[in-house]
Amino acid sequence: MKKTFILMIMTLLILTGCSYNLNSEVNTDVSSTYPIIQQENTYTPLNFEKQRATWFPYVDFPEYMQGRTEDEFTAAITEMLTEASQNGINTIYFHIHPEGDAYYNSEIYPKGQFYDGDYDPLKIVLDVAHSMNISVHGWINPYRMQTAEKMETLPDSYIVKQWIDTESPMVILSDNRWYLNPIYHAVNHLLSQTVQEIIENYEVDGIHIDDYFYPKAVTEIDLNEFYSSKGSVLEDWRREKITEMVQTLYNTVKSYDSRLKFGISPQGNIDADYNTQYADVELWTRNTGYADYIVPQIYYGFENEVCPFEETLSRWEEFAENGNVDLIIGLARYKEGKYDKWAGISGENEWIENDDIIKRQTELVNASEISDGYALYR
């Protein structure tokens, strides 16, 4: 399915260039946007009309990055990408900013805890993947930061730690982890800088975000801001804040190079997206200007009592049917052979009793006239 997109025309925000102070008084005017990047990308992004993708999550980095030399890391990545290519994978989402850190050379964030070598893991992944004709999308978590204990060990120059030390409302502590606060303009500006740093310095083929949207703690502290905004419905206001972030990142990517892809991977459960994470997935999927592709994590079996696979797939296809946003279906290969405690009585043993669930699901996706590929979480 051939897709098109319409670039958003951005109003210039009056800033003082790189000297903009993220610690200054916050502008919460939702009409504010960001300066267009004035730089030509000489790299031609590698992307495919039909994605066959997989995630490379940071939780696996201890196995092949932590404590490894550059040669050892390169060998491990080469082996993994070779296997992926042999299994038909043409795109990877590589986790480069999972929790307020960086698995690349960054002037904004500290190195990730599993990144203890003197080489650049993102550069190596890009070189190896591109040599195999595999597209690489930098996977980031916008709001999730370090744990409270980890934050104490980081340099005082780290902007998020400065916000914490000054008791800034830009950060929230929830379940012993720090999160950026979605309601503030300065947070969106920091996220724009995050993406800008990556796409200006690396030949990534896209930027990919997943389902860490509205932090739970914000529901306790954002009421004053909501009342000040004179909004009419709190839940709608929160969804607007998340959509502003999505538009910020989309515009940042597109203003640098319209050929780069921006993708979002929300939960597969649409009602949970909308009502607990305040992610307006229907808006993003039906309309241009928010994402090039959506990867709902439909990590459910056919007998799941809450979100049976085929019914959930159909709901997402309805969103994408008349839009210009690619629909990539996220599939849970990691559930194979395992008990599924969230599936209800009828589905809790489905992945144990059936060894062909992923096969049947990929067949449905491949046969669909609306879906544009699939992504496997292993």
State if pTM tops 0.85: yes
> How many Å apart are CA 214 and CA 180, to the nearest integer?
9
Cβ atoms within 10 Å of 38's Cβ, excluding its own: 7
> How many Å apart are CA 98 and CA 228, to the nearest integer?
32
* SS3 (DSSP) at 357: helix
For position 31, what pLDDT does the model report? 33
Contacts of 265 (CB under 8 A, 6+ apart): 93, 208, 209, 210, 211, 294, 295, 296, 297, 330, 375
Which residues of the chain fall short of a pLDDT of 50?
Answer: 1-36, 38
> How many Å apart are CA 378 and CA 370, to the nearest integer?
24
* SS3 (DSSP) at 313: helix
Show me where the domains of the chain are located. Answer: 17-377
Which two three-digit tokens encode residue 66? 């932590």
Would strands 326-327 and 177-180 be described as parallel, antiparallel, or unpaired? unpaired
CB contact at 8 A, 284 and 277: no
In sequence order, the β-bridge partners of residue 102 are 111
For position 12, what pLDDT does the model report? 32
For position 3, what pLDDT does the model report? 39
Among residues 214, 314, 327, which one has the least CA distance to residue 264? 327
Contacts of 62 (CB under 8 A, 6+ apart): 114
* Chain centroid, CA 43 distance in Å: 22
Phi and psi for 370 in degrees, rounded to 5?
Answer: -110, -45
Phi and psi for 177 in degrees, rounded to 5?
Answer: -130, 145
For position 40, what pLDDT does the model report? 64
CATH of 17-377, one of 3.40.50.10260, 3.40.50.720, 3.40.50.970, 3.20.20.80: 3.20.20.80
For position 222, what pLDDT does the model report? 87
Between helices 357-367 and 309-320, what is the axis angle to 10°? 20
> How many Å apart are CA 270 and CA 296, to the nearest integer?
9
For position 289, what pLDDT does the model report? 96
* SS3 (DSSP) at 271: helix
272-279 long-range Cβ contacts below 8 angstroms, 24+ apart: 273/211, 273/213, 274/239, 275/235, 276/214, 277/211, 277/213, 277/214, 277/242, 278/213, 278/214, 278/235, 278/238, 278/239, 278/241, 278/242, 279/211, 279/213, 279/214, 279/239, 279/242
